[in-house]
Amino acid sequence: MNFSAISVVYRKELKEWLRDRRTLISTVLVPLLAFPILMVGITALATVMIGKAEQEVPKIMIIGGKDSPQLLERLQKIDKLTVVPYADNWKDQISNKEIRAAVEIPRGFQTALAEGTSQTVNVYYYEGELKSSFGAGHLQEAIKDYRDSVVKERLAAKNLAPSVLTPFEIKQENVAPPEKVGGASVGGFIGYAVILLCLTGAMYPAIDLTAGEKERGTIETILSSPVSRFDLVMGKFLLVFSASLVSAILSVTSMGTSFAILGHSQLMHSSGGESLHLSLGPLSVVAVFFMALPLAVLFSAVLMTIALFAKTYKEAQSYLTPLTFVVVIPAVASVMPGVELNTKLALIPILNTSLVCKEIISGTYHWNSIILIFASTCVYAGAAIFLAVKMFQREDVLFRS
């Protein structure tokens, strides 16, 4: 190994890389902007959209109810709703968003209520449509209020207290620290995103330095120089690895910043109404970065090995696109509910790193797992580098026609 030759190759590749707009976009801009856009942008947009939807007074329609004036009157008095006259095509009107919801009061509802017979009041809405959900929600709230008042009257008539129906309360309370709650909620996503950006950051330099070199006809030029194939591969590999690391560093930094902004702006709230803990401590950032290191080595070597088979940039892209899915599947699997780190999963590349990142972010450090994952990924990475060096020594690969 000639460190001087490796350094010469690396510095030259770095110079060319810094002058290439395509690789700069994939390695610097995307990781830097992806998180702020995804996290802050989308959350802010969602908040604005929900706010707007809440401000709208939904139009609703009442089906039937002429023989039930009490409920009819209650529904017509709701401030948050505008009642429109009945039309036969009410289903189409909901689907076409002309009205947001409809309520059907069954025939003889009030009489049946007086007789103590149970009846069903149907609320119709457009599932998945936010404004329709709000309209249906207001309707349900009003109907429940009416039902509660009927119950209260019946209890009063029999001289019974309302507590008869609720002899005791049930309360669910979180005891996990806020950072663990935040980690469990978004930790998987962070690991997944860092892994994916490590891959995409390395992808374009890997293609450019192998298939790109073949396509431009410079492979024969460089092979005629005295640099050994091993030193050449190592110089190129280090550049691809650097690109992957830059992506990882930028993505973790931009992620930390995005979460800090979100945490302070109170844009994101947990279902319980409390603010979700979204800050990434320096230790978490360093640990996630440290765990991403061997994975970046693995990606760089594998990407170079595969791209070297291709004769052109486009051909290499078509080889590497399926690889993205191979990486995404285990990364996504780690986000699935119930998937937790164990000894077997700790040996599966990508999935193990994604899972350990999730734990690290929630403040859990299982050192045995961390060491096992780091060591196993290092072994895979070493094997991938060995393969890349071997591939650079194969004439049928270098001069494939």
Instruction: Give the footprint of other proteins on this chain (CB under 8 A).
Output: 4-5, 8-9, 12, 15-16, 19-20, 216-218, 220-221, 223-228, 395-396, 399
- Identify the DSSP state of 41: I
Nearer to other proteins, 155 or 219 (CB): 219
Nearer to other proteins, 8 or 328 (CB): 8
End-to-end CA distance of the chain: 30
Q: How far is the CB of 9 from other proteins (least distance, A)?
A: 8
**Residue 336 CB coordination number (10 Å):** 8
Question: Which tokens belong to 252?
Answer: 């973790």
Nearer to other proteins, 144 or 394 (CB): 394
Q: How far is the CB of 395 from other proteins (least distance, A)?
A: 6
Q: Which residues contact 69 (CB under 8 A, 6 or more apart)?
A: 110
Find, among 10, 22, 55, 40, the residue nearest to 238 by Cα: 10
**Residue 394 CB coordination number (10 Å):** 13
Q: How far is the CB of 398 from other proteins (least distance, A)?
A: 8
Q: How far is the CB of 214 from other proteins (least distance, A)?
A: 10
Q: How far is the CB of 389 from other proteins (least distance, A)?
A: 15
Nearer to other proteins, 18 or 160 (CB): 18
Nearer to other proteins, 218 or 266 (CB): 218
Q: How far is the CB of 314 from other proteins (least distance, A)?
A: 17
Cα distances (Å, whole numbers) of residue 369 to 189, 289, 343, 350: 20, 16, 7, 14
Nearer to other proteins, 5 or 136 (CB): 5
CB burial readout 233-269, b (16+ within 10 A) else e: bbbbbbbbbbbbbbbbbbbbbbbbbbbebbbeeebbe
